[in-house]
Each structure stands twice: as C-alpha cells, then as structure tokens.
C-alpha cells in the first residue's frame, strides 16, 4: 500500500514532467504576475484574498481540462482541497462531501449537508445537482458552514456555479472526439441585441457508445453508453442604468445505462479487485457478467428570473426560480448473473437475484429570495433578506423477482412535500483601516411530510406517513486583519444547520415489505476557522485555513445491510478538524503552477451508535454489540467517503509562436485522495486504499482558435469508488482512461 508521502511525490514528479499552461492565460494573469480572483461567496463581488472564509475557485484552464472528453460534475472531485464527489447512479445523482461531511444515501429524497447553488438558486434534490457544467464563468467551493447568507442544509459548505451572463462577449464553439466514440460539443453565443436588451444561448451535447461488454449477452459492448443534452437561454433587459432583469431557462435530457455494478468485485478478506472470472481473476474494467435490465432516463427543466434594482444607497435583488424533473433508473443491484440455486450463477456466490427500479414521476421545486444590500465601498456594509422554498416530490420504487421481469412484484410510492423559509441579515464594519468585523444571523423554519403506500401481488401491504419540523437560528462571526498590503489574516466562528429528514425506503423481501420509514432530527454544527491569505511578490499566492468543528446530532444514513435498507439515525456527534493549503505561482511569464493539500479528520463520537453490518459476506472489523450478532459499533469511525488526505497539482506552460498571440501549450492536472470507507462500519473489503488520477492537454491556441489533444486518467488508475453490501461483495469503479482531440473557436 502506497503511503501518502510517496503518492504526493509521484504527483510532483508527474506534473513537472509535463510542463503546462493556464487556459485563457491573458485573462488569468498579466505578464507581470497573477491576476485578481473575483468571487461572490458573500453575495458581493470581492477579491478572493479579502473574503474571511475558506474558498477555492475552479475556472479557466483547470475547468476546461476537467471537462475534456465529456467529464461530468464528478470530475471536480479532488480538484480543490477537501472536496469529494461520488455517485452510485453515474452522471445523474452526485453526492458531495466537504471536510468529510456528506451523505451516502442512495434514495431519491436524500438530504445532503453540501448545498449546490446554480446562479443564486439552490438545487435541493439529488437529481438536480448533476446538471451539466457548461458555459460557466467559474465554480466556487465554499468550505465550512454557510448558514447565514445561504441557510438550510449547508453545514458542510456550498458548491456554487456562476454562468456566463447574457451581456458577455465571449462567444465560442468547441467540439471533441475521443475513445469509446466519446463526442462532446459545447457553445455559448451572446451579446447586445439593442441598447437595453442582451441575450445568450448556450448548450452542451455529450455522448459515448456502450463500451462495457456484458458477457452474459450476445454481441459486444452492451453497457455504459449515454447521450446527454443540456441547454440554457438567457435574456437580460436593462431599461435604465439602475434596473436589470435577467430571465433564464434551462433544459436537460439524459438517456443511458445505469451504473454498472460488479458482483463479488472484492476478494474476500481484502479490498483487492477480481474480474468476471471470480476470485483471483484479473480485473477487467470493460467486462461484466450481469443479467438484469438496465436503463436510465432523466429530464429536467427550469425557468428563473433575477431582478437587480439599484436604489442608490442599496440594491434590491429578487431571485425567483422553478425547477421540474422526471427520472427513471433500473439496475441489476446484485451485480451478477443468476443466483446460487440456479444452474449457472456468477461471478462468485450470489444468494438471490435482486433487481430494482427507482423513479421520480414528478419533481417541482419553487424558490424565492429577496434581499437588500448596501452599495457603499467604505463604512458599514449590510445585507438583509428573506427566502422561501417549496418542493413537491413523488418517488416510485419497484422490486422485480426475476432479472428480466417487466411486471413488478412490489411497488412503493412516496409523496413528499417540503416547505422552508428564512430571514437573514449580515453586517460588515471596518473597526480600523486594518481590522474589519462581519456578523450575520438567520432564522430558519422547515417542515416536511412524507406519505408512503406499498402494494404487492396480494394488494396493499403497508402504508404510513411521517412529519418533521424545526426552527433554528444560525449565525457567523468573522474578523479580517490586514497585516500588510499583501497579507490578510482571518478568523471565523459559524453555526450551521441541516433540517430534519425523513427516509421512506421500501425494504423489499421477495413479495413482502417492511415499513421502513425513519426520521432524523436536525443536526447543528459549530465551526472554528482561522487562516492567512498572502500575495507573495505579485507572482505567487498562498492561502492556508485551519479548522475544527463539532457536529451535534449528526444525521447519518445506515446504507445497505442484509435488507438493503437506507435508515436514518442521529449520532451524538462527529468531531472534525484539519486544514487546507493552496499555492499558486507564476515564476516566469509563460509558466503557472498550482498545488493544494488538505487533511480532514471526521470521526463519529457516540458509544451508543450501532448499525447492522453487511449482508453479503464481508469481514466487518468493528466491535460487535454484546449479545447482538451482526450489530456493530461505529464509534470512532471516520465518516464514509471522507479521505483524510487529498492533494491536487497543476502545471501550465506556453511557448509563444510567431508575432501574434499564438502559443504552443501543455497543461496537466492531478488529484490524489487517500483511503476511503464506503459504509459507516469498517470492513476489510468495502474500502479503497487511494486514488491518483491525472490529465494532460497539449496543443496550439490563439485569440481565435484552440486545437489540442487530451488524456484523462492518463495512468488508467483503477480504484473502487463504492459498493453494495446486502447480497454479495458488489462494487463499482472510477472512470476509464479517455483520450481524444478537441477544437475550439472564439468569435
């Protein structure tokens, strides 16, 4: 097993072996050094170095490289310190983790402690959070509780997207083609239509052919293909200098296969990977042996309006949005072929077949925010506002007794309604020329009701409902001290909050079902953070944050076990601490280097927290509760999908060509994470020691054209990224190596 230090050295060697540039180099930095990074982490445009919290930005070269070859939102994982993203649904249901805090729940109403905000609109349901990343100006990652300006369900932080605006003059068209017939097209076109009207239309189309061979079926390449189209249209009306109204509509249509699960992928007693030939056979990423029906369909649409009205001393902002979604996903969750009592079964021992389907027949989310913020650059600055959220969600879950059945044996229908509102305010006051203080507070009110009805071959077999509600005050207090013109010190204490949750997962057992409604009380977090943000000589930038948090009544999801449940529990608390360090330098005009490093300890502290272990033959290493075989203590365990160490590294180098703006360039980016466990309990099998993925992009670009060759996962790292534990040692792995060519045009 490779140590962290060894792997970090490997990153350093790899990145310096491939010198590389920064995309949009003319925008990112002037010849004399690094440029300013503008963020909206506090709902104002500010210099990243002046913001008193831990923020990172993905934009320019790094964002373009990550998206090469059809990357989706999961490709951001590890590209900034303390951020992890994974999914057991592939491209349609990402799960986010910041500083170790997240939720491994696979159900379609899962609550996450990391909020995703797209153009000032919070996207609550997991199927919304996978909306493709295209034509965006930047991605901001706000670490730590964001309970004042953003509110509910942000105890871990926020991933925030800012689309290119309608009045942007950056028009482009790019396309790429690569391995597995991977095709990606993207465009953004806009600008002034008249003195008062601007418009922008952007879109992305991605497709990949089936490339995984299901050897249980005739022919080749049966799985993992998809087509994914996403569109955005924007109109901006500015009748006066003081009023700006922006209306946007978005649409997504995804068709593909569900995540490929692999039966008995883990060798019993270890986390080594086996292939379709069973224990001891070589793992082959492009082969699987499965007999279930497999498909995935997702449609999303939204319309939103943003009004900004400059009233002189203050600006009034109103953001109104409606999102809708429909989703269908069916997969072979036992990951294999047949079962033990059939003549042919495999790979390995499979006690019974398991196929399920989860749908969202209807999702409607309405949000409204109104806020007023002062316009002054000096003196007391303030913000105040109100927020409203209303979501109606229908979920249908189906169980099938046989792999090819199209008539379900058990149906579970869930209807959930969630309402929330909040009132918030924030003040920033300059105590002196060097010291400024910020204080904010928010009142949150949340209500949720879930109704469940279940039917089987013999009619109704179970109904139920649950209600949860709570109100809570969240707040933050921070101080920024300008130690010099180039060095800022900051300290921050913040309280965050996650609303109470309901889990109505149906527990299918052949043709019967248990009533599986569970609830979790609100969780609260108190976080302490301090750091330094330094500009070093104009050509380098170094930021360091150190944090400690106490998460009380932690909402955890006991996923899997013999009944394949998803049951909510509240652990007494989770203790966390760590740091994030980020460095960027431009030692010479044509070379840009960046590096990030984080450490996260996120351990459960509850001697009375016990859960069911796996039901598929794994080797659980936690203590057994006395007198309760199969029930294990999770006290002291690191949270699942929470690597203690993560690191990222990029290098970009350009060589000017001719007398114009052209250059030959190379860019490389790398991400490392240390060991992760996949479940709340620990076992020998359901974990991965480490993952190291790198990318390389090389080509020629000018003001008008960019042509490049690219490789993603250049070393073809094979790492387990998740598991299913109720039936056998099923797992799934990271994305394969992709290479290809890309052509981009600016106009």
57-69 residue pLDDT tens:
998 888 888 888 8
Contacts of residue 224, defined as CB under 8 A and 6 or more positions apart, other chains included, come to 208, 210, 211, 212, 256, 257, 260
DSSP one-letter string for 123-170: E-STTTTT----SEEEEEEEES--TTTT-TT-SSEEEEEEEPPTT---
Q: How confident is the model at residue 507 (pLDDT cuts 50, 70, 90)?
A: low
Cα distance between the two ends of the chain = 50
Spatial CA neighbour of 418 closest among 446, 378, 382, 376: 446
Can you tell me the mean pLDDT for 320-330?
A: 97
pLDDT of residue 221: 84
pLDDT of residue 506: 56
586 and 536 Cβ atoms separated by less than 8 Å: no
Spatial CA neighbour of 84 closest among 651, 675, 548, 485: 675
Q: What angle do CA 195, 60, 168 make, to 5 degrees?
A: 5
CB burial class (10 A; 0-12, 13-18, 19+) of residue 591? middle
Residue 24 has pLDDT above 90, yes or no: no
Residue 16 has pLDDT above 80, yes or no: no
Can you tell me the mean pLDDT for 604-609?
A: 97
Q: How confident is the model at residue 8 (pLDDT cuts 50, 70, 90)?
A: very low
Query: How many other C-beta atoms are found inside a 10 Å radius of the C-beta of residue 516?
Result: 20
95 and 107 Cβ atoms separated by less than 8 Å: no
Helix or strand (DSSP H, E) at 60: helix 60-66
Spatial CA neighbour of 552 closest among 521, 589, 507, 598: 521
pLDDT of residue 216: 86
Residue 17 has pLDDT above 50, yes or no: no
Q: How far apart are CA 204 and CA 216, in angstroms?
A: 34
**Span of 119-128, 435-444, 659-668 with lowest mean pLDDT:** 659-668
3-state secondary structure (DSSP) of residue 91: helix
The verdict on whether omega for the bond into residue 347 sits within 30 degrees of 0, i.e. cis, is yes
pLDDT of residue 606: 98
**Span of 7-21, 257-271, 518-532 with lowest mean pLDDT:** 7-21
179 and 70 Cβ atoms separated by less than 8 Å: no
What sign results for the dihedral spanned by CA atoms 605, 608, 613, 619?
Answer: positive
3-state secondary structure (DSSP) of residue 74: helix
Q: Give a three-class secondary structure readout of 1-48.
A: CCCHHHHHHHHHHHHHHCCCCCCCHHHHCCCCCCCCCEECCCCCCEEH
Can you tell me the mean pLDDT for 266-292?
A: 92
Q: What is the CA radius of gyration of the chain?
A: 25
Please, what is the average pLDDT of the chain?
Answer: 91
Q: What percent of the chain has pLDDT over 70?
A: 93
Contacts of residue 172, defined as CB under 8 A and 6 or more positions apart, other chains included, come to 186, 187, 188, 744, 745, 746, 747
Can you tell me the mean pLDDT for 233-248?
A: 97
Spatial CA neighbour of 659 closest among 625, 702, 622: 702
Query: How many other C-beta atoms are found inside a 10 Å radius of the C-beta of residue 537?
Result: 11
Residue 360 has pLDDT above 90, yes or no: yes
Q: How confident is the model at residue 165 (pLDDT cuts 50, 70, 90)?
A: very high
How far is the CA of 426 from the CAs of 51, 147, 357, in angstroms?
A: 14, 11, 45
Spatial CA neighbour of 386 closest among 367, 410, 405: 367
Can you tell me the mean pLDDT for 235-244?
A: 96
Model pLDDT for residues 397-437, shown as the tens digit of each residue = 998 888 899 988 888 899 999 999 999 999 999 999 999 99
Can you tell me the mean pLDDT for 696-723?
A: 96
**Span of 342-346, 378-382, 489-493, 542-546 with lowest mean pLDDT:** 342-346
Instruction: Classify each residue of 644-670 as buried b or exposed e, where b means 16 or more C-beta atoms within 10 Å of its C-beta.
Output: bbbbbbbbbbbeeeeeeebbebbbbbb
Query: How many other C-beta atoms are found inside a 10 Å radius of the C-beta of residue 385?
Result: 22
**3-state SS of the chain: helix, strand, coil percent to 5?**
5, 55, 40
Residue 724 has pLDDT above 80, yes or no: yes
As a dihedral over the C-alpha atoms of residue 56, residue 59, residue 64, residue 69, rounded to 10 degrees, the angle is 40
Model pLDDT for residues 447-460, shown as the tens digit of each residue = 999 999 888 755 55
**What phi and psi values does residue 720 have, to the nearest 5 degrees?**
-70, 135
pLDDT of residue 515: 53
pLDDT of residue 13: 33
pLDDT of residue 11: 34
Q: How confident is the model at residue 27 (pLDDT cuts 50, 70, 90)?
A: very low
Chain centre to alpha carbon of residue 599: 19
pLDDT of residue 340: 74
Q: How far apart are CA 585 and CA 593, in angstroms?
A: 5
**Span of 16-25, 34-43, 80-89, 133-142 with lowest mean pLDDT:** 16-25
Q: How far apart are CA 215 and CA 3, in angstroms?
A: 36
Residue 15 has pLDDT above 90, yes or no: no
Q: How confident is the model at residue 32 (pLDDT cuts 50, 70, 90)?
A: low
As given in the structure block, the two tokens for residue 303 are: 């319309």
As given in the structure block, the two tokens for residue 224 are: 């993992």
Can you tell me the mean pLDDT for 250-276?
A: 95
Residue 696 has pLDDT above 50, yes or no: yes
Q: How confident is the model at residue 462 (pLDDT cuts 50, 70, 90)?
A: low
pLDDT of residue 151: 85
pLDDT of residue 34: 84
As given in the structure block, the two tokens for residue 232 are: 């955005």
Which contacts (CB < 8 Å, 24+ apart) does range 506-510 have? 506/397, 506/399, 506/410, 506/412, 506/452, 506/454, 507/563, 507/564, 507/565, 508/356, 508/399, 508/409, 508/410, 508/412, 508/564, 509/563, 510/401, 510/409
Q: How far apart are CA 20 and CA 590, in angstroms?
A: 9
The domain defined by 4-746 carries CATH number 3.40.50.1000: no
Report which of residues 91 and 21 the model is more confident about.
Answer: 91
Residue 14 has pLDDT above 80, yes or no: no
Can you tell me the mean pLDDT for 567-588?
A: 96
Q: How confident is the model at residue 189 (pLDDT cuts 50, 70, 90)?
A: very high
Q: How far apart are CA 280 and CA 504, in angstroms?
A: 39
Q: How confident is the model at residue 338 (pLDDT cuts 50, 70, 90)?
A: confident
CB burial class (10 A; 0-12, 13-18, 19+) of residue 485? exposed
As a dihedral over the C-alpha atoms of residue 678, residue 680, residue 682, residue 683, rounded to 10 degrees, the angle is -60
Model pLDDT for residues 67-115, shown as the tens digit of each residue = 888 889 999 999 999 999 999 999 999 999 999 999 999 889 999 999 9
């Amino acid at each position: 097993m490779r140590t962290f230090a060894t792997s970090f050295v490997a990153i350093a060697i790899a990145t310096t072996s491939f010198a590389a540039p920064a995309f949009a180099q003319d925008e990112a930095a002037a010849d004399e050094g690094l440029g300013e990074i503008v963020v909206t982490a506090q709902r104002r445009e500010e210099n990243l170095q002046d913001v008193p919290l831990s923020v990172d930005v993905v934009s320019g070269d790094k964002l373009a490289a990550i998206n090469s070859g059809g990357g989706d939102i999961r490709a951001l994982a590890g590209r900034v310190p303390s951020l992890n993203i994974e999914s057991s649904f592939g491209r349609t249901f990402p799960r986010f983790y910041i500083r170790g805090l997240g939720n491994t729940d696979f159900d379609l109403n899962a609550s996450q402690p990391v909020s995703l905000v797209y153009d000032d609109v919070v996207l609550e349901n997991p199927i919304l959070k996978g909306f493709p990343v295209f034509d965006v100006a930047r991605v901001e990652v706000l670490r730590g509780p964001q309970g004042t300006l953003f509110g509910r369900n942000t105890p871990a932080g926020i991933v925030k997207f800012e689309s290119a605006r309608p009045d942007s003059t950056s028009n482009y068209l790019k396309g790429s083609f690569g391995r597995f017939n991977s095709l990606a097209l993207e465009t953004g076109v806009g600008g002034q239509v008249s003195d008062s009207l601007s418009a922008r239309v952007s879109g992305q189309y991605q497709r990949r052919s089936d490339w995984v061979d299901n050897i249980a079926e005739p022919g080749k390449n049966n799985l993992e293909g998809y087509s994914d189209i996403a569109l955005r249209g924007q109109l901006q009306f500015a009748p006066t200098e003081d009023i700006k109204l922006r209306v946007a509509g978005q649409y997504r249509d995804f068709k593909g296969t569900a995540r490929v699960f692999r039966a008995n992928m883990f060798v019993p007693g270890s986390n080594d990977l086996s292939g379709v030939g069973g224990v001891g056979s070589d793992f082959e990423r492009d082969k699987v042996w499965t007999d279930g029906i497999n498909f995935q369909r997702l449609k999303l649409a939204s319309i939103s309006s943003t009004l900004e009205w400059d009233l002189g001393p203050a600006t009034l902002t109103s953001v109104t949005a409606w999102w809708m979604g429909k989703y269908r996903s069916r997969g072979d969750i036992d990951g294999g072929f047949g079962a033990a009592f059939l003549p042919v079964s495999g790979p390995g021992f499979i006690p019974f077949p398991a196929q399920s389907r989860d749908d969202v027949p209807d999702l409607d989310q309405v949000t409204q925010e109104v806020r007023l913020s002062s316009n002054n650059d000096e003196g007391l600055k303030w913000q105040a506002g109100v927020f409203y959220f209303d979501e109606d969600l229908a979920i249908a879950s189906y169980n099938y007794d046989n792999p090819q059945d199209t008539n379900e044996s058990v149906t579970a229908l869930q209807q959930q309604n969630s309402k929330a509102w909040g009132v918030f305010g924030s003040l920033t006051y300059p105590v002196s020329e060097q010291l400024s203080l910020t204080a904010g507070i928010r009142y949150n009110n949340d209500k949720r009701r879930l109704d469940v009805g279940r039917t089987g071959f013999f009619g109704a077999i179970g109904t139920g409902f649950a209600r949860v509600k709570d109100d809570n005050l969240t707040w933050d207090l921070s101080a920024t001290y300008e130690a010099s013109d180039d060095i800022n010190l900051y300290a921050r204490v913040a309280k965050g909050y996650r609303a109470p949750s309901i889990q109505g997962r149906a527990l299918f057992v052949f043709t019967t079902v248990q009533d599986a409604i569970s609830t979790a009380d609100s969780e609260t977090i108190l976080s302490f953070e301090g750091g330094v943000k330094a500009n070093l000589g104009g050509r380098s930038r170094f930021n360091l944050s150190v944090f400690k948090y106490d998460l009380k009544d932690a909402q955890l999801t006991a996923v899997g076990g013999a009944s394949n449940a998803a049951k909510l529990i509240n652990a007494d608390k989770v203790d966390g601490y760590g740091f994030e360090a980020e460095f960027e330098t431009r030692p010479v005009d044509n070379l840009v280097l960046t590096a990030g490093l984080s450490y996260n300890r996120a351990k459960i502290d509850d001697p009375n927290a016990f859960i069911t272990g796996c039901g598929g033959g794994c080797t659980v290493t936690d203590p057994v509760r006395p007198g309760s075989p199969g029930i294990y203590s999770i006290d002291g365990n690191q949270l699942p999908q929470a690597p203690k160490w993560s690191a990222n590294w990029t290098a970009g180098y350009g060589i000017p060509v001719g007398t114009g703006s052209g250059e030959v360039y190379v860019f490389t980016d790398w991400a490392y994470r240390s060991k992760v466990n996949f479940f709340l309990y620990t076992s020998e099998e359901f974990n991965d020691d480490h993952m190291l993925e790198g990318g390389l992009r090389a080509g020629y670009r000018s003001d008008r054209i960019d042509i490049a060759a690219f490789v993603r996962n250049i070393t073809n790292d094979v790492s387990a990224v998740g598991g299913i534990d109720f039936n056998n040692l099923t797992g799934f792995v990271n994305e394969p190596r992709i290479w290809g060519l890309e052509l981009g045009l600016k106009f």
